[in-house]
Amino acid sequence: DTEVTQTPKHLVMGMTNKKSLKCEQHMGHRAMYWYKQKAKKPPELMFVYSYEKLSINESVPSRFSPECPNSSLLNLHLHALQPEDSALYLCASSQTGTGELYEQYFGPGTRLTVT
Amino acid sequence: AQKITQTQPGMFVQEKEAVTLDCTYDTSDPSYGLFWYKQPSSGEMIFLIYQGSYDQQNATEGRYSLNFQKARKSANLVISASQLGDSAMYFCAMREANTNAGKSTFGDGTTLTVKP
For residue B114, the distance in angstroms to the closest alpha carbon of chain A comes to 18
Any chain A CB within 8 A of the CB of B47? yes
For residue A68, the distance in angstroms to the closest alpha carbon of chain B comes to 16
Question: What pLDDT is attached to residue B1?
Answer: 57
Q: Answer yes or no: do B31 and A101 touch at CB < 8 A.
A: yes
Question: What pLDDT is attached to residue B92?
Answer: 98
Any chain B CB within 8 A of the CB of A11? no
Question: What pLDDT is attached to residue A96?
Answer: 83
Please report the sign of the dihedral spanned by the C-alpha atoms of residue B94, residue B99, residue B100, residue B103: positive
Assess whether pLDDT exceeds 90 at residue B8.
Answer: yes
* Whole-number Å distance between alpha carbons of A26 and A43: 23
* Whole-number Å distance between alpha carbons of B42 and B115: 19
Local structure of B84: helix, strand or coil:
helix
Q: Answer yes or no: do A100 and B91 touch at CB < 8 A.
A: no
* Whole-number Å distance between alpha carbons of B21 and B11: 8
Closest CA in chain A for residue B53: A101
Question: What pLDDT is attached to residue A113?
Answer: 97
Cross-chain CB nearest to A106 (options B33, B45, B97)? B45
Question: What pLDDT is attached to residue A101?
Answer: 85
**Using one digit for the tens of pLDDT, what is the confidence trace for A12-29?**
999 989 999 999 999 999
Is the Cβ–Cβ distance between A110 and A44 less than 8 Å? no
For residue A72, the distance in angstroms to the closest alpha carbon of chain B comes to 18
Q: State the best of A100, A104, A106, A111 to mutate against chain B, taking most chain B CBs within 10 Å.
A: A100
Question: What pLDDT is attached to residue A89?
Answer: 98
What percentage of residues in chain A have a pLDDT greater than 70? 96
Assess whether pLDDT exceeds 90 at residue B101.
Answer: no
Please report the sign of the dihedral spanned by the C-alpha atoms of residue B45, residue B41, residue B16, residue A2: positive
Assess whether pLDDT exceeds 90 at residue B2.
Answer: no
Q: Answer yes or no: do A101 and B32 touch at CB < 8 A.
A: yes
Pairing of β A18-25 and β A73-79: antiparallel
DSSP for B9-59 reads: SEEEEETTS-EEE--EE----SSEEEEEEEE-TT---EEEEEEETT-SS--
